[in-house]
Amino acid sequence: MKPDKPLDVAPLLERLLAGDRTAIAEALNLVDDQRSAQRESALELLDGLAIHKEAQRAHVVGFTGAPGAGKSSLLNALVETLREHSLRIGIIAVDPSSQRSGGALLGDRMRLSASAREAGIFLRSMAARDRLGGLADATRASTAVLSAGFDWVFIETVGIGQSECEVAQLVDTLVFVAQPGAGDTLQFMKAGILELPDIFVVNKSDTGAEAERTRSELGGALQLAEAQAAAGWTPPLLSASARDRVGIDEIQTQIEAHRQHSRESGEFARRREAGQLAFATESLSRRYGEWGLAQIGGAGTLSGRLEQAGERSAFGVVLDLGREIENALRGK
């Protein structure tokens, strides 16, 4: 058991920025620690990461889709490919439904060999548990930590609907993995979230006709959705088989193309800003309600404060604003 007193953050931050592997594990434990003494330290660490530009170099990619679509299998194949280029890769597997601490079940499909792990791949599983701040906040904090030490950070999330919106706010590139024959397309159209993913992959192309049908269904729906999207990027629709290692290179190529496009077009910065604003708005309104938010001037104030955060991370800004709201409520 770790001591229940605040941790000295400066040396940890230094080791983290130097790419020390054990520091990554320590930092992930720290930001996941619910004890109040550690929460102060966690915040200090996140603030430290926010002011170091080199700590945000990672490109963050979300893999989302129904359970069993093959997200873990595709990631596994992709990671192997990326490793051939000696890239350092962090992976977060999020299971919103799991109450099992550590989310051990979810990580199962990621069969990373020992050599892969030594070679600079880091896998972290996260389960819902009983979290004060919700899983999305915890995932955001873990992503900030992994971004300090890796070139790529992948986040695997299960689900349709709400969780897609949450992960979309956290990642630079969103990949949707479709399960052949699952009827995802219709559900997605109804939920109006076909606009979110940057890349679509129909996995299990080895199933033949079924995968083909899903692909053309999804293609039709995308053509309808495309009329609305106008960000200069047309989401590609890819076919792949994680089982047969088919189409993996093309997924990598498209992720890299989207990374380049979004950085050059300014979409990257715009999206990170929007994500932070959504995170701050969501955290504060969850705790204090719309009325609480209005006490500090509403959403307009929020984005201004995030813009001028200076040495504070978005987490720090949220804490500061929370205190201001509490003071306002007390009539100070």
Ligand X SMILES: Nc1nc2c(ncn2[C@@H]2O[C@H](COP(=O)(O)OP(=O)(O)O)[C@@H](O)[C@H]2O)c(=O)[nH]1
Q: Which residues lie near ligand X (CB under 6 A)?
A: 65, 67-73, 109, 203-204, 206-207, 241-243
Which two structure tokens, joined as six digits, stand for 9? 């953050």
- Closest C-alpha to 318, from 71, 7, 50: 50
Q: State which residue, 117 or 263, has the beta carbon closest to Mg ion.
A: 117
Residue with nearest beta carbon to Mg ion = 72
Indicate if the alpha-carbon torsion angle 67, 70, 73, 77 is positive or negative.
negative
242 binds, among Mg ion, ligand X, none (CB under 5 to 8 A by kind): ligand X
**SS3 category, 57:** coil
Q: C-beta of 302: minimal distance to ligand X in Å?
A: 35
107 binds, among ligand X, Mg ion, none (CB under 5 to 8 A by kind): none
Q: State which residue, 70 or 90, has the beta carbon closest to ligand X.
A: 70
Dist CA 255 CA 251 (whole Å): 6
In sequence order, what are the residues at sequence separation of 6 or more whose Cβ sits closer than 8 angstroms to the Cβ of residue 250?
238, 240
Q: C-beta of 158: minimal distance to ligand X in Å?
A: 7
Q: C-beta of 311: minimal distance to ligand X in Å?
A: 39
Q: State which residue, 31 or 237, has the beta carbon closest to ligand X.
A: 237
For 69, which DSSP code? Answer: S
Q: C-beta of 96: minimal distance to Mg ion in Å?
A: 12
- Closest C-alpha to 208, from 164, 251, 167, 243: 243
Q: State which residue, 48 or 107, has the beta carbon closest to ligand X.
A: 107
- Closest C-alpha to 59, from 165, 134, 153, 177: 153
Q: C-beta of 63: minimal distance to Mg ion in Å?
A: 9
Q: State which residue, 68 or 133, has the beta carbon closest to ligand X.
A: 68
